[in-house]
Amino acid sequence: LAKLHSIIEQLKDAGFKVTPQRRAIIDTLHNHDPKTAHEVFTNLKEDYPDISLDTVYRNLHLLVELGVVTQINLQSRDSARFVISADGHYHYLICIQCGSTVKVDFCPATTRITEDFKFQPIKHVFEVYGYCSQCQNNEVY
């Protein structure tokens, strides 16, 4: 909860109004698996019947710009998933069949890049696309 509080403070510091809808978006993503904009929209629609998918997209991208939210699965707008940045630094394996995501707890940029290449990374993207174990078992592809 303290983390949620610091996210709200971060928004205020950046000069953004923390509207109930923005708060609800953060609540929806907080401590959850990465969600698509559509999943966030479906979640919010119960409490905010007037909200549009476009509003959700706009707010998610604003939160990404502020660094509060990280966008994963960068291939397309429809498959993009969003996760709270403060939940940790992770990378993801993304199933191109069912869209499920698996969190990877190592970062290729931290050791090999800094040590082997003497390069100081500021920002990086590392995503792996493929088939999850369940989809491999189903052999649907």
State the number of CA atoms in the 13 A half-sphere of 82 facing the CB. 27
State the number of CA atoms in the 13 A half-sphere of 70 facing the CB. 20
If the CB atoms of residues 22 and 91 are measured against Zn ion, the closer one turns out to be 91
Closest separation in Å from C-beta 30 to Zn ion: 21
Closest separation in Å from C-beta 53 to Zn ion: 24
For residue 138, the tally of other CB atoms under 10 A from its CB is 12
If the CB atoms of residues 1 and 141 are measured against Zn ion, the closer one turns out to be 141
Q: How many helices (DSSP H) and strands (DSSP E) are in the chain?
A: 5, 6
If the CB atoms of residues 16 and 90 are measured against Zn ion, the closer one turns out to be 90
Closest separation in Å from C-beta 109 to Zn ion: 5
If the CB atoms of residues 26 and 132 are measured against Zn ion, the closer one turns out to be 132
d(CA 26, CA 38): 14
Closest separation in Å from C-beta 97 to Zn ion: 4
Note whether 73 and 100 are within 8 A (CB): no
Q: What is the largest CA-CA distance in the chain?
A: 53
Chain residues in the site for Zn ion (CB under 5 A): 95, 97-98, 100, 107, 109, 132, 135
Closest separation in Å from C-beta 74 to Zn ion: 14
If the CB atoms of residues 21 and 100 are measured against Zn ion, the closer one turns out to be 100
